[in-house]
Structure 1
Amino acid sequence: MSGTSGSYNAVTWLLDRNVEEGRGAKLAFTDTVTELTYGELQRQTRRVANMLRRLGVRREERVAMIMLDTVDFPCVFLGAIRAGVVPVPLNTLLTAEQYAYILGDCRARVLFVSEALLPVVKDVVGRMPDLEHVVVAGKDAHGHKKLSDELARESDTFATAATHPDEPAFWLYSSGSTGMPKGVRHLHSNLAATAETYAKQVLGIRGDDVCLSAAKLFFAYGLGNALTFPMSVGASTVLHTERPTPAAMFALMNKYNPTIFYGVPTLFAAMLNDETLKDARAGNRLRICTSAGEALPESVGNAWKARFGVDILDGVGSTELLHIFLSNAPGDIKYGSSGRPVPGYKVRLVNEAGAEVADGEVGELLVDAPSAGEGYWNQRAKSRSTFEGHWTRTGDKYIRDADGRYTFCGRSDDMFKVSGIWVSPFEVESALITHPAVLEAAVVPEADPEGLLKPKAFVVLRAGAKTDDLHEALKEHVKQKIGPWKYPRWIDVVDSLPKTATGKIQRFKLRDGAS
C-alpha cells in the first residue's frame, strides 16, 4: 500500500469494509459496561468526524487522547482518522508535566480525556496555547464539553477524507523511559501492514476470535492487539479500564472466554505465581497467547504451557515499528528465544562498525519494516540516527543461532563486558528466576575495586522464601546455569523493581543507584 498513488483511509479498510461485508450487527468492542457493534462504531466515528469539523479542526492537525480503554477510545481514534485528523493517544499514567510537554510538542487542537483522568491535567490545559477545546468522556464534564452531548448533536453521515496511504494517520509517543517521550508519526498504511503480516501470518487471527489484551490501546502493542488485529478480520475485543492485575485478568477470562490473550512477561509470571489464584482458570476457549514488551523467560513460557495447555508466542516489537517483527509461531516455538522474522520483515545484526555479524555473535538488531514510522516529530537528529533508509535501528542486542532464531541479549545501553566477553543482563536475570526463591530479577553493571565491570543483581523474593545463605546459593545457581564469569558479584534483595507503564524494567534507575 505504501508508496502507491490514489487515496486510502485506514478506517475504510478497518471498519467500513466489515459493515459492507455484512458484519454490521456483530460485536466489535465491549468494555464490560457498553457493547458496540461494527455498525454502531461506524456511525459513532462519523459523528466524531463531524464534531471535529464543527470545532474547526482541519486535516493533518492533531487531537490528543488521554482516555481509558472504553468503547469511546476506538470511536474517537477512528473518527479522527476518518476526518483526516491525526489522533495522538497518550499514556494514561503520566504526570501533569509530562502531559504538558507532549501537548505542547504535538500542538493538539483538542484534548479528549476520560473523566477519571481529568484531575491530572486540569491545571495544564489552561497554559497550552494551541489547545482550544477539552472534551470529557464520562458523566460529568466539569465545565468542559461532554463527549456524549457533543456526539448527540452530529449527523452519522460523513464523507471519509481522501487521505493518502503515505499520509500520517496517528502519532504514538515512545515510552520515554530515559527521557521525555518522542512522537512517532505513523501512516495510514501502517495499520494494515501489521495486520497482514503478524496478525494474519503468525497469529492466525480469525473472525470468530475474542481478544483480550493486558496492554492498553495507547501502547503500540495494545493498539494492534485490541483494535487493528480483531478489526482486520471482524473479530471482537474485550476492553478493560483497570490495571491488568492477575485477579482482574482471570476474572475477565472466565467471564468472556477469550480465544486470544495478549500479555507481557511480568504479568504472565505474576498470574502463575499468585498463590491466591493457584486454582484460577483461563476460560475454556483460549487457543493462543502472545507476549512482548520484554523477552519472555523460558521458565515462564514452559510453566504457562504446563498449567494451561496453551502456548505463548513470544516476540519483540517497538513503537517505531508499530508491532511485533520477530516472533515465535504456532508449531515453531523455542522458549527463551524471540523466534524468527515475521513474514514481510527483514532483519540484520550488525557490530559497532556497521558490519553484519555471524551466527553466535552479538549484534544490534536492524529491521526493514513495512510498518515503520516516518520519523520522530521535531527530533531530526534522532530520526536520522534511528530511521536509516529502509532500516530502523531498534537499540536491541541480539544473537542469531544456526537455525535462524534470534535470542534477546539486552538493550544496547544495558549490555556490558566482563573479562572482555559480552554479558546479557537478561540471560543472568533468566537464570536467577529459575531459583525457587526468586520471583523477579534485574541485573546491571557495577565497578569492582579495580574499576572493572561485574554483574550486580537486584532480586524480588517469592513469599516465604528462606534467606539463609541465599546470596551464595544464587551465585552458585547462576554459575551452574550459564557460566562461571556471568554470576552476580553483588545481590540486593528489594521489595520491587522500577518499571515503565509497559512493564519493562528500568535498569537505568538501578544503574544510577548502583554507581
Structure 2
Amino acid sequence: MNPTAGMANPVELLLLGHADGRRCGVDRRVGEVTYADMRGAVADYAGDLRAAGVRPGCRAVVVSDDCVAAVTAVLALWWHGCVPIVLHPTLRPAEIGFIVRDSEAEFVELNVAPEHEAAVRTELGEVDAERGAAGRGGLLTALVPGRAGPSAVPPAVFGETDELLVQYTSGSTGRPRGVRHCLRAVHAVLRGVGSMLELTPDDVVLSTAKLSFGYGFGNSLLYPYAAGASSVLLDGPADPYGVAAALDAYRPTVLFSVPRLYAGLLRLAEQGKAVETGSLRLAVATGEPLPGELASRISDVFDVPLINGFGATEVLHTVVAAAVGQGKAAGPGSIGFPVPGVTATIRDDAGRPVADGTPGRLHLATESVALGYLNRPQDTARAFADGGVYTGDLAFRATGGDLCHVGRADDMLLLGGYKIAPAEIEHVVRGIAEVAECAVVGSADPLGLEQATVYVVARNPARPDETRKAVRAALRADLAPYKRPSLVEIIDELPVTANGKLARFRLRRRPGGPVGSPEGRT
C-alpha cells in the first residue's frame, strides 16, 4: 500500500496527522517547536499570504539560512498553492536578482544578515522598477503579520505533475538553471531512499547540507517531517567544530553530511577532540564522491552504519546508494546500487546502453525525475531524454552490478555537495588587473575528495605574491564561500592543445596533482 496515496498537497503529508506534542524542529533562535506549533505558524503565514494578495500558483523565493522560519515559509507557500524557491543568504545580490527575474517570482521572503540586507533590497528594487517599466505587476517583499488571522482555507490542491518546487543548480557555463519538481517526485523519493532510512517519530535528524541545496531540503524537511520525526536546523557555515558541538548538544540519531565534513570530524577525533556520535544509529554521506577508504574510516571510527549515496538536483535527492560494508559494492569509485523505484543505465552519446565495465553517460529513470528546466527548452531536451534524465556524470557498471563514478562529463566541479561551474570562478579571476590568464580545474586532495584549484598566469611574473593576494581578495569579495577554490597556483603559462584550446586535463595531470603553498590557500 502506498502511504502517500491521495495526498494532494505536501503539507498534508509532512505536517498533518502527527502528534501535537511531538517536536518537529529546533534551531538556536526559537528553540524547540512542536508539530502543533508549526501547524499554527503555517496557518498564520498562509493567512498573511492570502491577505496580501499573493497569487496562488505563483513562484516565491525564500532567501534564508536554515531555521524554523524558513521551513514555516515553505510549508505556508505550499498551503497557499505557491511554488517555493529556497536560496542561500550568502548568494550575491546579483545572483539573487537573476533568480528572481529568471523564475518570474512574485513574492520574496527575505531573511538575511543586516549587513547584507540593504544590498539585496536594492537589487530587488531594481527588479521591481524593471517590471513597472514593462507594465507588469510589482514584486512583493513584505507581509503584514496577523492581518488576516490563521488561514481557514484548506491546503491547495496540486496535481501529481503540477510544478511544486523549483531548485536552482549551476549550468555548465555557470548560468543557474531552475529545476522544476512535482508532487510525484516527493512521493517517489520517500518511497525510494526514504525506505532505506527507516525514520520513525523517535528519530532526530541533523543535516549539514542546507535547505537551499536539494540534498539538504530532503534531509531537513521531506524525510523527517514525513516520518513525524524531529529536524535540527543549523544556521551559519557548517564546519567540523560547529557540527561536533551540534552532535553534543542535540544528540541526533541520523546525521546527513558530505564526505569532506566527515573527514573534518575524523581529523578532530584523531586530534583527541570529543566528537560525540554515540547517539547516532545511521550516518549518510552524499553530495560528492566518497572514497572507499574514507567511508570505512567513518563507519569504523564513529561506530555507526554508513550509507554512501549519489543524487542530483534533477532527480530531487539520492537515487543510488549502498550501505558501507554490506551488499556487493566494494570497488574503487563505487556509488552503490539504484534505490527502490530507480533504473540506472550507462549509455553512449547516441543513448544506447553500453556493456558492463564501459564508461558512459549515467541515465536515470524514476518518478522523481524533474519536469525539466525552467525556461531552458534546449537544455531540457538534451538532459531529459530517453525516458529519464542524463545527470552529466560519467560512470560504468562493475561486475558486481554496482555503479562506479568516473567524473563529470561537463567539467563541473562538485565541492562539498555543490555543483560549481569553472567558468563562474574564471569570470571573477579574469577581471583582476594582475591576471593575464586563468583556468580552474578539479583534483583530489590527500583524502581523495574533490577540490578546486585556480591556475593563474600573472601579468607581471616578477610579482607572483601580489597576484595571488589580488586573486584571493577577489574570490572572497565576489563568490559565495562554497564556490571558492581551495588553492591558488601561479604558473608560467596555461597548457593548450594542438588547436590552441585549453588542455584542462594537463593541469589535472601535473606531477602530484595541483599543489599549493600555504599562502595560496583561500
TM-score (norm 1): 0.78
Q: Is the 8 A contact 2:310 2:318 kept in 1?
A: yes
Give, in whole Å, the separation in 1 of the partners of 2:357 and 2:452: 24
Give, in whole Å, the separation in 1 of the partners of 2:228 and 2:297: 32
Q: Give the direction of change, closer, same or farther, for the CA distance of 1:491–1:105 in structure 2 (3 Å limit).
A: closer
Quote the offset at 1:323 in angstroms.
0.1
1:51 has 2:58 as partner: no
The match for 2:431 is: none
Q: Give the direction of change, closer, same or farther, for the CA distance of 1:125–1:491 in structure 2 (3 Å limit).
A: closer
Q: Give the direction of change, closer, same or farther, for the CA distance of 1:491–1:6 in structure 2 (3 Å limit).
A: closer
Quote the offset at 1:429 in angstroms.
5.1
Aligned length: 438
Q: Is the 8 A contact 2:251 2:280 kept in 1?
A: yes
The match for 1:397 is: 394
Q: Structure 2: any 5+ residue segments left out of the alignment?
A: 132-136, 413-441, 456-493
Quote the offset at 1:45 in angstroms.
1.4
The match for 1:24 is: 20
Aligned positions of 1:264-343 closer than 5 A:
264-274=258-268, 278-329=272-323, 331-332=326-327, 334=330, 336-343=333-340
Q: Give the direction of change, closer, same or farther, for the CA distance of 1:120–1:318 in structure 2 (3 Å limit).
A: farther
Give, in whole Å, the separation in 2 of the partners of 1:372 and 1:360: 25
Q: Give the direction of change, closer, same or farther, for the CA distance of 1:205–1:182 in structure 2 (3 Å limit).
A: same
Q: Is the 8 A contact 1:444 1:456 kept in 2?
A: no
The match for 2:157 is: 162
Q: Is the 8 A contact 2:46 2:150 kept in 1?
A: no
Q: Give the direction of change, closer, same or farther, for the CA distance of 1:287–1:275 in structure 2 (3 Å limit).
A: closer
Q: What amino acid is aligned across from residue 133 of structure 1 in structure 2?
A: L
Q: Give the direction of change, closer, same or farther, for the CA distance of 1:168–1:441 in structure 2 (3 Å limit).
A: closer
Query: Match of 2:99, SS?
Result: helix
Query: Match of 1:158, SS?
Result: coil
Q: Structure 1: any 5+ residue segments left out of the alignment?
A: 136-144, 416-427, 459-485, 500-515
Quote the offset at 1:183 in angstroms.
0.9
Q: 1:366 aligns with which of 330, 348, 363?
A: 363
Aligned positions of 1:94-113 closer than 5 A:
94-113=91-110
Give, in whole Å, the separation in 1 of the partners of 2:121 and 2:454: 39
Q: Map Cα deviations across residues 218-253 of structure 1 (whole Å, 9 max, x no partner).
A: 111001001100011111010011110100000000
Q: Give the direction of change, closer, same or farther, for the CA distance of 1:233–1:43 in structure 2 (3 Å limit).
A: same
Q: Map Cα deviations across residues 70-90 of structure 1 (whole Å, 9 max, x no partner).
A: 101111101111111111111
Aligned positions of 1:154-193 closer than 5 A:
154-176=149-171, 178-193=173-188
Which deviates more from structure 2 when the two are superposed, residues 23-32 or residues 351-360? 351-360
Which deviates more from structure 2 when the two are superposed, residues 208-217 or residues 169-178? 169-178
Give, in whole Å, the separation in 2 of the partners of 1:396 and 1:188: 26
Q: Give the direction of change, closer, same or farther, for the CA distance of 1:414–1:377 in structure 2 (3 Å limit).
A: closer
1:345 has 2:339 as partner: no
The match for 1:14 is: 14
Aligned positions of 1:93-492 closer than 5 A:
93-116=90-113, 117-128=116-127, 129=131, 130-135=137-142, 145=143, 150-151=145-146, 153-176=148-171, 178-200=173-195, 202-274=196-268, 278-329=272-323, 331-332=326-327, 334=330, 336-388=333-385, 390-414=387-411, 433=446, 447=495, 455-456=505-506, 488=511, 491-492=514-515
Q: What amino acid is aligned across from residue 68 of structure 1 in structure 2?
A: D
Q: Map Cα deviations across residues 132-164 of structure 1 (whole Å, 9 max, x no partner).
A: 3213xxxxxxxxx5xxx6147522533211221
Q: What amino acid is aligned across from residue 42 of structure 1 in structure 2?
A: R
Give, in whole Å, the separation in 1 of the partners of 2:86 and 2:503: 40
Give, in whole Å, the separation in 1 of the partners of 2:496 and 2:54: 58
Q: Is the 8 A contact 1:455 1:489 kept in 2?
A: no
Give, in whole Å, the separation in 2 of the partners of 1:14 and 1:251: 28
Q: Give the direction of change, closer, same or farther, for the CA distance of 1:156–1:384 in structure 2 (3 Å limit).
A: same
Q: Is the 8 A contact 1:108 1:131 kept in 2?
A: no
Q: Give the direction of change, closer, same or farther, for the CA distance of 1:5–1:39 in structure 2 (3 Å limit).
A: closer
Q: Is the 8 A contact 1:29 1:37 kept in 2?
A: yes
Q: Is the 8 A contact 1:195 1:229 kept in 2?
A: yes
Query: Match of 1:378, SS?
Result: coil
Q: Is the 8 A contact 2:86 2:167 kept in 1?
A: yes
Quote the offset at 1:33 in angstroms.
2.8
Which deviates more from structure 2 when the two are superposed, residues 217-226 or residues 153-162? 153-162
Q: Is the 8 A contact 2:172 2:411 kept in 1?
A: no
Aligned positions of 1:485-504 closer than 5 A:
488=511, 491-495=514-518
Q: What amino acid is aligned across from residue 158 of structure 2 in structure 1?
A: T
Give, in whole Å, the separation in 1 of the partners of 2:89 and 2:65: 7
Q: What amino acid is aligned across from residue 354 of structure 1 in structure 2?
A: G
Q: Give the direction of change, closer, same or farther, for the CA distance of 1:113–1:276 in structure 2 (3 Å limit).
A: farther
The match for 1:474 is: none
